[in-house]
Amino acid sequence: MIILLALAAGIGIGFAVQPSVPIDLQPYLPIAVVAALDAVFGGLRARLDGIFDDKVFVVSFIANVLVAALIVFVGDQLGVGGELSTAVIVVLGIRIFSNVAAIRRHLFRA
């Protein structure tokens, strides 16, 4: 219950405050969001698998977001930021898809 409340609170704060992202961080925000989605869907699947762990979820969330942004940042410095963004998106996209498919199997038994 508290988790759903936090979800609603995050959405509400986002819409209410409309924080402006510093221009230097804007390229990394979409990557960070995809990494966050990956961690969230992974946690949901673990919960349905019955092996959810608070610590793993929190640490994987923070680490995924930071590492994804860092990879793209390093890629930008090396001149391959676009390619590394694509790589990160591909990897995280496949993971999100697989996890959502597993969640679907749990929910619909199909």
Partner 1 sequence: MSLLTDIAANALEPGYAQAAQAHARRPAGRGPRIAVAVTVGIAALLVVVDGAQAALHAPADARARGALVAQVQGLESQTAALAGTVRNLQAEVAAASASALSADAAGTGRLVGLERDSGMSPLSGPGLVVILNDAPTASPDTLGAGSPATGQNRILDSDLQAVVNALWAAGARGIAINGERLTALTAIRTAGAAILVDFSPLSPPYTVEAVGDPVAIETGFGGSATAAQYRTYQSVYGLGFSYHRASGLSLPAATDLVLHEAEPLP
Considering only residues 10-69, where is the footprint of partner 1 by CB under 8 A? 10-11, 13-15, 18-19, 21, 26, 29-30, 32-33, 36-37, 39-40, 42-43, 45-46, 49-62, 65
CA 104 to CA 107: how far, in whole Å? 5
Name which position in 71, 80, 81, 91 contacts partner 1 (CB under 8 A).
91
CB closer to partner 1, 33 vs 70:
33
Task: Kindly tell me which of 15 and 108 has the beta carbon lying closer to partner 1.
Answer: 15
Say whether residue 82 binds partner 1 (CB under 8 A): no
Closer CB to partner 1, 62 or 79, in the complex: 62
**Token representation of residue 51:** 């092996």
- Of 88, 92, 72, nearest to 80 by C-alpha is 72
Report the candidate in 90, 56, 58, 84 with the shortest Cα–Cα distance to residue 69.
84
| Residue 71: how many other CB atoms lie within 10 Å | 19
Please name the residues in contact with 99: beta carbons below 8 A apart, sequence gap of 6 or more: 38, 41, 42, 44, 45
The site for partner 1 (CB under 8 A) is made up of: 2-3, 5-11, 13-15, 18-19, 21, 26, 29-30, 32-33, 36-37, 39-40, 42-43, 45-46, 49-62, 65, 91, 94-99, 102
